[in-house]
């Protein structure tokens, strides 16, 4: 059994930049990193995200809902083609704030 690809999470002036895979193994670290962002409008750059599973989707949806409840905004930016396709086929691309 091979280990899951790590998720690199970098803090930026506007939020976070992600690289790697968001899965059951890495999703908790992403949830924690999003929780530490104190901007009213958090941008999450997903250009270098290669894969997202249902655990990752859950973290993104819960972060979006939590931000709305706190009158904040989370925006997913530059989704990779794989992430764009996943958001589209799961039907949440219109629910989450996604921009190229």
The model's pLDDT over 33-87, given as tens digits with 9 standing for 90+, comes to: 999 999 999 999 999 999 999 999 999 999 999 999 999 999 999 999 999 999 9
Q: Give me the domain span that covers residue 70.
A: 17-99
Q: How confident is the model at residue 3 (pLDDT cuts 50, 70, 90)?
A: low
Q: Which pLDDT score is estimated for 100?
A: 85
Is pLDDT of 16 > 80? yes
In a domain, 80, yes or no: yes
Q: Is the per-residue pLDDT at 88 higher than 70?
A: yes
Is 8 a member of any domain?
A: no
pLDDT score recorded for residue 1: 43
**What is the average per-residue pLDDT within 91-97?**
91
Q: CA 55, CA 7: separation in Å to the nearest integer? A: 13
Q: CATH number of the domain at 30, please.
A: 3.30.750.24
In a domain, 1, yes or no: no
Question: First CA to last CA across the chain, in angstroms?
Answer: 35
Count of domains forming the chain? 1
Is there a domain that residue 5 lies in?
Answer: no
């Amino acid at each position: 059994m091979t280990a899951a690809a790590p998720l690199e999470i970098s803090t930026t002036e506007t939020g976070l930049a992600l690289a790697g895979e968001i899965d059951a193994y890495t999703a908790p670290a992403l949830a924690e990193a999003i929780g530490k962002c104190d901007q009213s409008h958090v941008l999450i750059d997903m250009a270098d995200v290669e894969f997202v599973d249902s655990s990752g989707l859950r973290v993104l949806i819960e972060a979006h809902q939590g931000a709305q409840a706190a009158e904040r905004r989370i925006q997913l930016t530059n989704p990779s083609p794989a992430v764009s396709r996943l958001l589209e086929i799961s039907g949440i691309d219109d629910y989450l704030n996604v921009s190229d």
